[in-house]
Amino acid sequence: MTIERNKESSELVDVEQGQSGFAAAPDGIGSSGMGPCIAAAVLNHSQGKAWLVHESGWSVNSQLLDDIFDDARAAAAEHDKITLWLLGACIGDTQDPEVVEMTRADRKMALERAQDRFPSATIVTEFSDDPEVMSMSVEFEYDGSKWVEEMTRDSW
């Protein structure tokens, strides 16, 4: 997946599993390989800033998630336009009911934390129960007025 960067000086902040990252326009931010993992992105359209965390599935580290939410809230002004993305947590082709239950619990926890920290923000969820989808990837780029996403769903 590649987003065409409209400025020569822009880079992509690549957030790997177990990490968090920050980008300010013109740089983009992204992550790949969210199978059972969950990625959470806070996109501040008004300021051109973005935070992203890629957390392991089945045992989401709520502290890492809370830290990016806290950082994004501290940087936000009262009337900033903010969108939160929660994605990944793919169930894929698993037949194990315990894995399905743990994945759905991670989704619920991440959504509850997002709603608690950003009650007036738009929240987009892109979780997958499709047995063909084993992993997701996402990149966000700032177009001058808002963050634009490019997401892929991958199968093995």
CATH fit for domain 13-145, picks 3.20.20.70, 3.30.420.40, 1.10.10.10, 3.30.1330.200: 3.30.1330.200
Q: What is the pTM of this model?
A: 0.90
Please name the residues in contact with 36: beta carbons below 8 A apart, sequence gap of 6 or more.
56, 57, 58, 88, 89, 90, 92, 99, 103, 106
pLDDT value, residue 2: 43
Q: List, as one string, the DSSP characters of 14-56.
A: EPPTTEEEEEETT-EEEEEEESS-EEEEEEETTTTEEEEEEE-
- pLDDT per residue as tens digits for the range 8-41: 568 999 999 999 999 999 999 999 999 989 999 9
- pLDDT per residue as tens digits for the range 57-89: 766 667 888 999 999 999 999 999 999 999 999
Please state the domain extents for the chain: 13-145
Please answer whether residues 45 and 30 qualify as being in contact, where contact means their C-beta atoms are separated by less than 8 angstroms. Answer: no
Residue with token string 């903010």? 82
The number of beta carbons lying within 10 Å of the beta carbon of residue 27 is 20
